Structure 1
């Protein structure tokens, strides 16, 4: 027999809790002549069973019901499902905390946030101390703040010396230029990279080409090409952000953006860049779009991860009209434009050993090449030649 204090010590409960359980009929005391409550070993075992049931997530009322009659399996199944959901949520919380401490990958977290709240994602990265250039590269390339520096170092090693970091061709650029109703005299090439388009534009217009990029290394590569070549003296280089253009309003006859609008979002780019185009001026922009209404699952999953905002050509055309532009012409980038990008990249990757890389940089590029090799045609780049509407 146990006094209430002894029973409380054995089960780790308070005296008031035991009195409450007695009131609920779970245990039953026997009063001694001196007034003390005494409890039996049966009461102790009842409390032990109760604690085991409570450990399964059952409420006190449900525990008492289980003790008085046969177990309600449907009740236990529901409690099991609830517990499994809670465990999954706790595991997600644990994984995120570990990732933010640098103990696990953050790629999935970044991708989810980029899909659901891209603007807030970019703002958060900037608050973590990343420059805009680093933050944009993290969003579109490394996708993991914990391995970003290593990833970018290996990515730069892979693409070092390549003229193009995306599809394009001289014929497509010149075709787009010739589709303009008038030849512009002042052109801003946004996201110029290593200057493939800027050089062509300079050869075909009698005016000034401003080449803008936020990557000083790419501009250095372009600067090297310009040196001692009188044909390109009208090109000036600006290292700045495409999201905050450092120019006066209506400064340019045309803005040129091959494969770069996606970085800040296609529709956002249309709105943010429009003030810098003179009235009745032009915007020539290319973007990755779906050509197929029913793309393969592999292509769909790849681009959901790498370009969540990818749309069909008709959807992009509708967005253009809604944002104060007139769509003059539209045409897909040629296969040759893709070959200019893919062939040198494939050759470079074939020369490299996976053992030399510790980040996902090489694996990501190999996966991209695989998707292009098997599914190009379900999607591709589309040139859009636009004219700014009059106010």
Structure 2
């Protein structure tokens, strides 16, 4: 629950603005029975975050309300687009005039600002304020949960999303692993669990093509349930299971990590390498905890900053790719606050990143030669280049956590 001061501080708006939103019916907070103060729910906060993000995209409050309710008038949107296009033309004319005058008075024109996709930054800002509000808004537009999640976390493009994701998966379906990691890193992390011999049920979330699940099957006698929402990844895993005669040990399941179909306290160990960002690190910790037995373990890896002063190009990239990035110390504090004991905290070996991007680069080269260059491929190449140049500024925090018995 939130009070007026909590909302104004979090959204950076005036109290009068918040109260105006209430007067015109955009939000309807409850009242505290004891003191009469306004109380805002998590749903109210998500609604307000969405309104503020839509306002930054040029929508009026009436248009914001229509968008929230999924009522969008095509003629109105067209008219608004024409207004914005005219404004852009006027601003471009003013920019050209000012550039020409600078050239005349200074003898040279000012440098051009670097090109950027403003809509990608808009989606990133929305995601940083509230992943849940971002998801709900996209679903209100008619996108499925899976597609909305992909727009939030991968393409950040509502217009050409399908083409982008098709190219994205052409790369990741070909690669051995779908994120940085290795057999050795998984083995080392598992061996840090004191009572590992007693583990009988493991859940892996975001399993991809199953390299980690196969490793866990080597090092334990547990039955392993693997979850992913991309069927081709699971099909590739099923083929491996047949080849290795492991179908009786590992059960692939097509499901969303946002809505897992399991009973409470079903697993001794939950494993998630590099996929928790999809729902948000803290949300993942809170949501998945109920599926663990008392004193059960969670292994989770997540991108973190390794410096307080990242280079500008590096920060610009990750402000879009993962706006919730913080330090490994912050992640440990969040885990403790969520009711976990931090058993071990380490960094993914640099070699794992190098091997992952070497594989991606080989895959991209083969695809470029066969089908040409694509926007998704260019984004991946930028990520590879960034890692090779600034890879000492960020990494994966690998946290082995234990659910507190009373948490």
TM-score (norm 1): 0.72
Q: Does 1:248 align with 2:263?
A: yes
Residue in 2 that maps onto 1:196: 211
Mapping of residues 227-266 of structure 1, within 5 Å? 227-266=242-281
Mapping of residues 1-391 of structure 1, within 5 Å? 92=58, 97=77, 106-183=119-196, 184-353=199-368, 356=371, 360-391=375-406
SS in 2 for 1:308: coil
Extract structure 1 runs of 4+ deviating beyond 4 A: 89-94, 96-101, 103-106, 354-359
Displacement of 1:112 in angstroms is: 3.0
Whole-Å Cα distance in 1 between the matches of residues 138 and 336 of structure 2? 32
- The answer to whether the Cα contact below 8 Å between 2:135 and 2:148 also exists between their aligned partners in 1 is yes
Displacement of 1:382 in angstroms is: 1.4
Q: CA 1:91 to 1:218, structure 2 compared with 1: closer, same or farther past 3 Å?
A: closer
Q: CA 1:211 to 1:132, structure 2 compared with 1: closer, same or farther past 3 Å?
A: same
- The answer to whether the Cα contact below 8 Å between 2:340 and 2:403 also exists between their aligned partners in 1 is yes
Q: CA RMSD in A?
A: 2.6
1:75-129 superposed Cα distances (whole Å, 9 cap, x missing partner) = xxxxxxxxxxxxxx999459x946998x998434323322333211101111222
Unaligned runs of 5+ in 1: 1-88
SS in 2 for 1:227: helix
Whole-Å Cα distance in 2 between the matches of residues 155 and 176 of structure 1? 29
Whole-Å Cα distance in 2 between the matches of residues 269 and 182 of structure 1? 24
CA radius of gyration, larger in: 1
TM-score (norm 2): 0.69
Q: CA 1:266 to 1:322, structure 2 compared with 1: closer, same or farther past 3 Å?
A: same
Whole-Å Cα distance in 2 between the matches of residues 93 and 126 of structure 1? 19
- The answer to whether the Cα contact below 8 Å between 1:199 and 1:232 also exists between their aligned partners in 2 is no
Q: CA 1:197 to 1:98, structure 2 compared with 1: closer, same or farther past 3 Å?
A: farther
Displacement of 1:269 in angstroms is: 0.3
Q: CA 1:165 to 1:341, structure 2 compared with 1: closer, same or farther past 3 Å?
A: same
SS in 1 for 2:171: helix
Q: Count how many residue pairs are aligned between Structure 1 and Structure 2.
A: 301
- The answer to whether the Cα contact below 8 Å between 2:131 and 2:280 also exists between their aligned partners in 1 is no
Displacement of 1:271 in angstroms is: 0.3
- The answer to whether the Cα contact below 8 Å between 1:202 and 1:232 also exists between their aligned partners in 2 is no
- The answer to whether the Cα contact below 8 Å between 1:136 and 1:263 also exists between their aligned partners in 2 is yes
Q: CA 1:295 to 1:177, structure 2 compared with 1: closer, same or farther past 3 Å?
A: same
- The answer to whether the Cα contact below 8 Å between 1:327 and 1:385 also exists between their aligned partners in 2 is yes
Q: CA 1:349 to 1:230, structure 2 compared with 1: closer, same or farther past 3 Å?
A: closer
Whole-Å Cα distance in 2 between the matches of residues 312 and 114 of structure 1? 19
Whole-Å Cα distance in 1 between the matches of residues 133 and 321 of structure 2? 18
Q: CA 1:100 to 1:158, structure 2 compared with 1: closer, same or farther past 3 Å?
A: farther
Whole-Å Cα distance in 1 between the matches of residues 372 and 141 of structure 2? 26
1:208-232 superposed Cα distances (whole Å, 9 cap, x missing partner) = 0110111111111111111142245
1:187-219 superposed Cα distances (whole Å, 9 cap, x missing partner) = 000111110111110111112011011111111
